Amino acid sequence: MSKANPPTDTLAAYTETTLLGGRVRLLQYAHGLRAGLDAVMVAAGCAARAGERVLDLGCGTGAAGLCVRARAGVHLSGVDIQPELVALARESAALNGWDADFGVADIRDRSTIAAGAYHHVVCNPPYLQAGTWSVTPDTVRARQLGKQVGDATLAEWVEAAHRALKPGGGLSLIHRADHIDKVVAALAARGFGAIEIWPLYAHEGEDALRIVIRARKGRKTPATIHPGLVLHETGTEAGGAWRPQAERILSGAETLDALSGA
């Protein structure tokens, strides 16, 4: 992995925000789509313990990995193909007073990520085709947030995670609910098992918008679909009042395992 310098010439384009109820300080773009819900939820699906090694694959500004670091006290690394985003991730780690190894790498390059080195991988792979949305026209910002599909395929993201993990290591990723078949197929094809799925719903009675999936390298345990998480109170708009359990997960007080009583 190569290092990246802070984007000192464009600092005005960035701002500091917080996640997990203020436990994580994060630098990201001041305008357009911003890391938030997806990063927190995929981190909440990671079963890492203190002292374990975690890789934030396609880390962008480091939001997901930093949330895992805040909750579990892990040794955090992250890779992304975009130097300006890696620079922000490194600066965010420093803001929080944490050591983290964020570097520039193409996930398809087998030489850039240490094989079999990590207990857990968190990943927010791109899930929207370019041209299907217009909220953030800047391609860098789009890919930063895992919104716009780049050159790597879903199978290549899964392959990179598999390569990075120790035997039995855990991959946690978030994706579109209507792509559940594609995600499960990609995981199974690469030898992941013990697949666990948490649907995320905006409101009671609506179709799931996202899924958080956790899987283990080399395991053959049957899959489990857990009770889902409804994010917002009935009668509120998307982005309205959070339900109590969603609030607890967003604050870092609970993980997704709490939905099944674990």
Would you say residue 199 lies in a domain? yes
pLDDT at residue 4 above 80?
no
Report if residue 2 sits inside a domain: no
Q: Please give the tally of structural domains in the chain.
A: 1
- Dihedral angle computed from the Cα positions of residues 134, 138, 140 and 146, in that order, rounded to the nearest 10 degrees: -10
Considering the domain boundaries, does residue 1 fall inside one? Answer: no
Residue 47: which domain range?
8-256
What is the Cα–Cα distance from 71 to 83, expressed in whole angstroms? 26
* Confidence grade of residue 75 (pLDDT, cut at 50, 70, 90): very high
Residue 262 is assigned to a structural domain of this protein? no
The C-alpha atoms of residue 36 and residue 167 are separated, in whole angstroms, by: 30
Of all helices (H) and strands (E), which one includes residue 139? Answer: helix 139-144
Instruction: Say if 45 falls within a structural domain.
Output: yes
* pLDDT score recorded for residue 5: 52
* CA angle at 250 for the pair 54 and 236, rounded to the nearest 5°: 145
* pLDDT average, residue stretch 235-252: 86
- Considering the entire predicted model, what is its pTM? 0.88
Judge residue 87's burial from the number of C-beta atoms within 10 Å of its C-beta, 0-12 exposed, 13-18 middle, 19 or more buried.
buried
154 has a pLDDT exceeding 90: yes
- Identify whether 51 is part of a domain: yes
d(C-alpha 1, C-alpha 78), whole Å: 10
pLDDT at 191 over 90: yes
What does the pLDDT read at residue 130? 41
Write b or e for each residue in 204-240: b if 16 or more Cβ atoms lie within 10 A of its Cβ, otherwise e: eeeebbbbbbbbbbebeeeeeebebbbbbeeeeeeee
For residue 61, give the CATH number of its domain. 3.40.50.150
**Mean confidence (pLDDT) of the chain:** 88
> What was the pLDDT predicted at 67?
98
Does the pLDDT at position 87 exceed 80?
yes
- Look at 72-86, 120-134, 166-180, 201-215 and tell me which has the smallest mean pLDDT: 120-134
Looking at the domain assignment, is residue 223 inside a domain? Answer: yes
List the Cα angle 78/182/206 in 5-degree steps.
95
The torsion region of residue 9 among left (phi > 0), alpha (psi -120 to 50) and beta comes to alpha
pLDDT band at 235 (very low <50, low <70, confident <90, very high): confident
Token pair listed for 179: 């792509």
- Whether residue 261 lies inside any domain: the answer is no
Q: Is residue 261 predicted with pLDDT exceeding 90?
A: no
Taking each helix axis from N to C end, the angle separating 63-72 and 37-44, rounded to the nearest 10 degrees, works out to: 40
H/E element, 69? helix 63-72
